[in-house]
Amino acid sequence: MRDSLYPIARELYAEHGVDTEAVLSQLASVAVSLHCWQGDDVGGFEGDGLTGGGIQATGNYPGKARTPGELRQDLEKALSLIPGKHRLNLHACYADFSGGKVDRDALEVKHFQSWIDWCKTQGLGMDFNPTYFSHPLANDGATLTHADEGVRAFWIRHGIACREIGAEMGRQLGSATVTNVWIPDGSKDLPVDRKGPRQRLEASLDEIFRKELPTEHHLDAVESKLFGIGSESYVVGSNEFYLGYAVSRSKLVCLDAGHFHPTESVADKISSVLQFVPEILLHVSRGVRWDSDHVVILDDPTKAIMEELVRGGFLGRTHIGLDFFDASINRVAAWVIGTRSTLKALLLALLEPAAKLRGLEAEGDFTSRLAILEEIKSLPFGAVWDEYCRRQDTPVGEDWLREVKRYESDVLSKR
């Protein structure tokens, strides 16, 4: 029954001037970067577990990945249930230390070669992140802004090493790696000196970014935050700091959907930021009252972000990544739900009769603009989504959930 609905949907959208065939082709060209840390609650493979950094994964659902092999196995299952060809987003604490553990300032490409090789077999690009948390030298809440020059130098070396690793990932995979810098540095209570840490952060970043890397292999991004657990009163890397830094150094700005005040619209920031920086990185997440990194759903904020990317013609300048970690539900299902919801939001945006709406707006016919925006909400978008899943050889409807349940029974429950 479901497969008979697409021809009807195609005709209805055509009445509004939308070519669903072209939309499906465009959607297939968009890669979403799946974050490795959903698979093990941001634990990593250094053996120390998650500590500090204002990061908290809640829940104890059984079956989390314990090794690189298990995490890759879970990712393969998730990717098989998500339509399209996507990417892997890896944190530095997920290094493969099968040849012996080193500290973070001594990380090399060899510690990530097994990940690169796996991505080659899967046809995936890679993105990367230095890990500035869960480490003894980050326990006091300061890394690149630390007043101790020796501690600061350690984290600078880590950032430099990660850029080199990211560039090699991009070179080997033939797709530029976005290496994103986020640090937890801040203050739980009111600081007296707000300027000093920001001066040190500027100097640290300049040192990390000193070496030019080929943009066909590597891109740098910086990510702000409003507040975090342990940094409620002051975050060094604020939106204003990183926006100024990115504009002045021509870096990518990372906009995390959970890193702003709940009443702020991330969608509204996109056209402003892209006036002054070459590209942006999005971390699509869902904050509930705070930056809680809930699994992405097809909600209004996510739809607004995708609408802005399409309406502004920004897809070619935007890197879409996910950032959530829920340990209270099946972790593979979380990847599938979050990624499919993100893609649904993008599909809805692509199905909008943009040319018609833009024309009405230019004519000053705001009545018709509002009326059509409301009418298209009832068009059979679900039939187009089902057709996309069929063409991408992935489950339609809830069929993917049965696959996850079988995987939980056969694999996850035995861990």
Catalytic residue among 41, 256, 326, 386: 256
Catalytic residue among 323, 326, 352, 387: 323
Task: Write the single-letter amino acid at 310.
Answer: V
Has 182 been annotated as catalytic? Answer: yes
Catalytic residue among 86, 158, 251, 259: 259
Query: Based on the number of CB atoms within 10 Å of its own CB, is 398 exposed (0-12), middle (13-18) or buried (19 or more)?
Result: exposed
Using alpha carbons, list the distances in angstroms from residue 116 to 1, 27, 119, 156, 165: 42, 25, 5, 24, 10
Q: Residue 231 carries which DSSP code? A: B
Catalytic residue among 217, 251, 283, 294: 283
Catalytic residue among 74, 220, 293, 307: 293
Residues linked to residue 231 through DSSP beta bridges, in sequence order: 228
Has 393 been annotated as catalytic? Answer: no
Catalytic residue among 91, 225, 251, 269: 225
SS3 of 273-300: the string is: HCCCCCCEEEEECECCCCCCCECCCCCH
Question: In whole angstroms, what is the distance from residue 34 CA to residue 354 CA?
Answer: 29
CA-nearest of 282, 284, 346 to 319 is: 282
**Strand, helix or coil for residue 341:** helix
- Taking the CB of residue 15, how many other CB atoms lie within 10 A of it? 9
Question: In whole angstroms, what is the distance from residue 187 CA to residue 52 CA?
Answer: 13
Has 40 been annotated as catalytic? Answer: no
Has 74 been annotated as catalytic? Answer: no
Catalytic residue among 127, 279, 291, 307: 291
Has 223 been annotated as catalytic? Answer: yes
CA-nearest of 172, 177, 260 to 224 is: 260
Has 115 been annotated as catalytic? Answer: no
Catalytic residue among 37, 115, 155, 182: 182
Has 259 been annotated as catalytic? Answer: yes
Catalytic residue among 168, 223, 279, 352: 223
Q: Which residue has the tokens 């899943």?
A: 389
Question: In whole angstroms, what is the distance from residue 70 CA to residue 307 CA?
Answer: 36
Catalytic residues: 182, 223, 225, 256, 259, 283, 291, 293, 323
